[in-house]
Amino acid sequence: MSDKQPIYILPENVDRMIGKTAQRNNILAARLVSDAIKTTLGPKGMDKMLVDSIGDITITNDGVTILEKMEIEHPAAKMMVEISKTQENEVGDGTTTAVMIAGKLLENAEKLLDLKIHPTIITKGYNLAAEKVKEYLNELSIEIDSSKEDLLKCLVMTAMTGKSAEIVKEKFSELIVKAIKQIEENGNIDISNIKIVKNKSKGIENTELIKGIVIDKERVSIDMPQRIENAKIALISESLELKTPGSETKIEITSPNQLQDFLNREERILKQIAEQIKSSGANVIFCQKGIDDVVQYYLAKEGIYACRRIPKSDMESLSKATGGKILTNLNELSENQLGKAEIVEEIKQGEEAMTYIKGCENPKSITILIHGGSEHVIDEVERAIKDGLGDVAAVLKDKRIVAGAGAIEIELSKKIREFSNSLSGREQLAVQEFADALEFIPSTLAENAGLDPIDILTELKSKHDNGEKYAGINILNNKVENCIEAGIIEPMKIKTQAISSATEVATMILRIDDVLASKSQPSKSNSISDMD
């Protein structure tokens, strides 16, 4: 037998890439993801229009939204999407930064691979640098007094600059800080207490903060009262209708009287449902399922306000806000199971009517009602508000901020270079490449603003070398200046999370030297010759 006889060890439908080919392919995929969102960074970043297979349009410059809507398939690129989701969940902002740093770390690693430096040496250097960055961030960050609302407003305005909400960022900053302060309790902040409702009417400047809950539903009958004061609210998850038999049922009727009795019995059962609700003392009903027309009639007759087909998430919000219990069985309904609110009323906003529940028992339940002229504008404003909420919540938790506008990245890059000089092995080169990757953020900020990135980086480095550690690019006047004084600030957590996530994904991708990919359709046999 020949020594070069092919040996088949893989199924027919598996493709394999090994060694440098696998590494280059993964690095290229991750870099392409980074390049795709690079132009959205900063106050003068551009937006992307994403059209899905059924023609739905999304217009945004939010990193995580772009990556989710792109429907990425490459496994290494999917890992980049994951870090953007983690950044979104942990902080709510900085998704573009995390992905860009990861992409640049991989791009710089490719240069070291060309110099025959082993991937494990590169990953060791990157991890050393990431640990040092966290130390330096603690040193460079500024502890703030969370009672100073002006600083918190600056945070929100920094997050909103460059988004659709920028024209009303001052109003939104006030609204967001007020909302967070309302739900804060001993330093604990549960953003899920802030409900965001979208309404296509008026303009974004009419967006309002409502102390209570707003449900995107109207009363089921116009005969019901439009406003209920001193509301006692029943939350019911079962349908207020006749239950249909589970299997095929036959009813034998032999006379017209029996038929009439049968129909009357149906109406009596439905009337009994309405009487049961009334006898509990409830004057407002929120039902997760349907309400029969006959029940609607009797509820309206008793002056009870009712809404149906309320989503489960809204039912949970109502329960938390009013103190009412969600009941699965109407027979359990009693006065002590009811929620309370000062006012429940239907208010028409544009073409839609909504139900407002104000003066809830739990004062921490609040709603931000976003107005706007189109769905696309409203969706983008919602993303901007979520970024602002995340930023303020992050700062109120750890009470530390850093200079924005690329200032912190340049200072960290400078310190990491100094640290690299203390290393003697090949890890030194990886640490230096890490420092270069951090400079990618201010460089891109300048590029997206139409400035020369080389000139800006040179000026930034010069100022930082002279001890101006808060110097960054103020894109609004195209000058390099002290960002803390200019009010361009960000939560420290954005940077720590972005650098941790970016380093983790870059080191994981670098350590892959073999990719086995199964196809859905079997193809020709894969043969591997002379394999160890």
* Structural domains for the chain: 17-143+402-512 (1.10.560.10), 145-211+364-398 (3.30.260.10), 212-362 (3.50.7.10)
Distance of alpha carbon 256 from alpha carbon 247, whole angstroms: 26
Q: Is 161 helix (H, G, I), strand (E, B) or coil?
A: coil
Q: What is the pLDDT of residue 527?
A: 40
Segment 276-288 mean pLDDT: 85
Segment 512-529 mean pLDDT: 53
Q: CB within 8 A of 308, min separation 6: which ones?
A: 217, 220, 240, 287, 289, 290, 291
Query: Residue 319: is its pLDDT beyond 70?
Result: yes
Write the pLDDT tens digit of every residue in 349-366.
Answer: 777 788 888 887 777 778
Q: What is the pLDDT of residue 140?
A: 83
Percentage of the residues of the chain whose pLDDT score is greater than 70: 87
Percentage of the residues of the chain whose pLDDT score is greater than 90: 0
How many residues are given for the chain? 532
Residue 392, Cβ neighbours under 10 Å: how many? 28
Write the pLDDT tens digit of every residue in 228-237.
Answer: 888 888 888 8
- Enter the pTM of the model: 0.75
Query: Residue 8: is its pLDDT beyond 60?
Result: no
Query: Residue 516: is its pLDDT beyond 70?
Result: no
Tokens read off for 528: 């591997």
Question: DSSP labels for 374-423?
Answer: SHHHHHHHHHHHHHHHHHHHHHHHH-EEEETTTHHHHHHHHHHHHHHTT-
Tracing tokens 């208010």 back to the chain, one arrives at 347
Reported confidence tier of residue 152, pLDDT bands at 50, 70, 90: confident
Catalytic positions, please? 62, 95-96, 387
Q: CB within 8 A of 63, min separation 6: which ones?
A: 37, 40, 84, 95, 96, 97, 98, 99
Q: How many CA atoms lie within 13 A of 416 on its CB side?
A: 30
Of residues 125, 97, 117, the one with CA closest to residue 40: 97
Q: What is the pLDDT of residue 525?
A: 43
Alpha helices, H only, 421-475: 427-448, 453-465
User: Strands 142-143 and 400-403, how do they pair?
Assistant: antiparallel
Query: Residue 71: is its pLDDT beyond 50?
Result: yes
Residue 520, Cβ neighbours under 10 Å: how many? 5
Query: Residue 185: is its pLDDT beyond 80?
Result: no
Q: What is the pLDDT of residue 515?
A: 61
- When mean pLDDT is compared across 262-276, 287-301, 316-330, 391-405, the lowest value belongs to 262-276
DSSP for residue 206: G
Query: Residue 532: is its pLDDT beyond 60?
Result: no
Q: How many CA atoms lie within 13 A of 60 on its CB side?
A: 24
User: Strands 212-215 and 352-360, how do they pair?
Assistant: antiparallel
Instruction: Specify the long-range contacts of residues 458-462, CB closer than 8 Å, at least 24 apart.
Output: 460/406, 460/407, 460/410, 461/410, 461/414
Rounded to the nearest 10 degrees, the angle between the axes of helix 75-90 and helix 19-38 is 40
Range list of β-strands (E), 129-218? 142-143, 194-199, 208-210, 212-215
pLDDT higher for 514 or 494?
Answer: 494
Q: What is the pLDDT of residue 4?
A: 65
Q: What is the pLDDT of residue 463?
A: 84
With b for 16 or more beta-carbon neighbours within 10 A and e for fewer, the 112-128 pattern comes to: bbeeebebeebbbbbbb
Query: Residue 521: is its pLDDT beyond 70?
Result: no
Alpha helices, H only, 289-331: 293-301, 312-322
Query: 329: burial class by Cβ within 10 Å (0-12, 13-18, 19+)?
Result: exposed
Q: What is the pLDDT of residue 530?
A: 41
User: Strands 326-327 and 339-349, how do they pair?
Assistant: unpaired
Tracing tokens 């103020």 back to the chain, one arrives at 474
Query: 454: burial class by Cβ within 10 Å (0-12, 13-18, 19+)?
Result: exposed
Query: Residue 526: is its pLDDT beyond 60?
Result: no
DSSP for residue 525: P
Q: What is the pLDDT of residue 523?
A: 42
Segment 326-337 mean pLDDT: 83
Strand order in the sheet with 400-403: 142-143, 400-403, 489-491
Segment 318-328 mean pLDDT: 84
Q: CB within 8 A of 265, min separation 6: which ones?
A: none
Query: Residue 10: is its pLDDT beyond 60?
Result: no
Average of per-residue pLDDT values in the chain: 79
Segment 19-30 mean pLDDT: 76
Reported confidence tier of residue 175, pLDDT bands at 50, 70, 90: confident
Tokens read off for 216: 């995107």
Q: Is 137 helix (H, G, I), strand (E, B) or coil?
A: helix
Segment 273-280 mean pLDDT: 82
Query: Residue 64: is its pLDDT beyond 50?
Result: yes
Reported confidence tier of residue 226, pLDDT bands at 50, 70, 90: confident
